[in-house]
Amino acid sequence: MKIVDSHCHLDFDKFDKDFADVIGRAKKSGVSKILTICTKKNQLIKNIDICNRNKFIFFAYGMHPLNIGKEEIKISEIEKISNNNKMIAIGETGLDYFYNKDNIRLQKKSFIDHIELSKKTNLPLIIHSRDADKDMEQILKTEYLKQPFSAVMHCYSSGQSLANTAIELGFYLSMSGIITFPKSHDLRNIFSKVPIDKILVETDSPYLSPVPFRGKRNEPSFILNTAKVGASIFSMSTNKFSEITSKNFDRLFKKASN
């Protein structure tokens, strides 16, 4: 069985001590591709090095909404790196009002700047959205009407309305370990209405470990636990679900399929 971890953070120091073992377990579990996300300027070289040393690992680069005001990654800097063969997406970017509502204007500007870069480079966008459904829908609709672009709603845990908007625009929704949590009935119901060819799977490791690993550091090999629940939502085998979502990944992230 082959499966793709479409979103994780392998550059985090939580993986430094046993990185080789983490990668080995991922391969043994059937993980055929990994997309690691760089959201800090001083971690870019580390991400590129990880990808250069591991043929099946790719990276994305962008300004996370929670980092706005803490550091700045200029759009021109992201664009310059986008020519790297291993950089297959822009982001993660988006809106997060859960922790900070004082910089909403700056978050929106940064998000729109990333959307424009996605259009310019023809690289898909990785979108982070938390407690910002209404503004997220408005920006996505407005910017898509100006010029279409491709995107994935990473670690989707928002409401039905935003999910509907994303699907209407042709975007993908990504499942994380959250769908394995006992109280995530509503989220599983939302995913059950998403076309199977618009679903990706991710760990978001080292965060959001799926059942039965909650409370522990997450890692790419744990993707199978999320895939099993995803497969059950669509009443299919884990193998079939993994095959479909892997093809979805290649369809969205075209640079990774070459």
Overall number of domains in the chain? 1
Q: What is the pLDDT of residue 257?
A: 86
The CATH number of residue 247's host domain is 3.20.20.140
Neighbours of 224 (CB within 10 A): 18
Q: How far apart are CA 93 and CA 113, in angstroms?
A: 10
DSSP character at residue 209: P
Q: How far apart are CA 229 and CA 56, in angstroms?
A: 25
Neighbours of 13 (CB within 10 A): 9
**CA-CA-CA-CA torsion sign (120, 168, 2, 25):** positive
pLDDT tens by residue, 184-243: 999 999 999 999 999 999 999 999 999 999 999 999 999 999 999 999 999 999 999 999
Residue 201: which of 4, 31, 23, 38 has the closest Cα? Answer: 4
State the residue range of the domain holding 219.
Answer: 3-257
pLDDT tens by residue, 172-198: 999 999 999 999 999 999 999 999 999
pTM of the model as a whole = 0.97
pLDDT tens by residue, 26-67: 999 999 999 999 999 999 999 999 999 999 999 999 999 999
| Residue whose structure tokens are 């670690």 | 155
What average pLDDT does the chain have? 97
Share of the chain above pLDDT 90, in %: 96
3-state secondary structure of 88: strand
Neighbours of 247 (CB within 10 A): 13
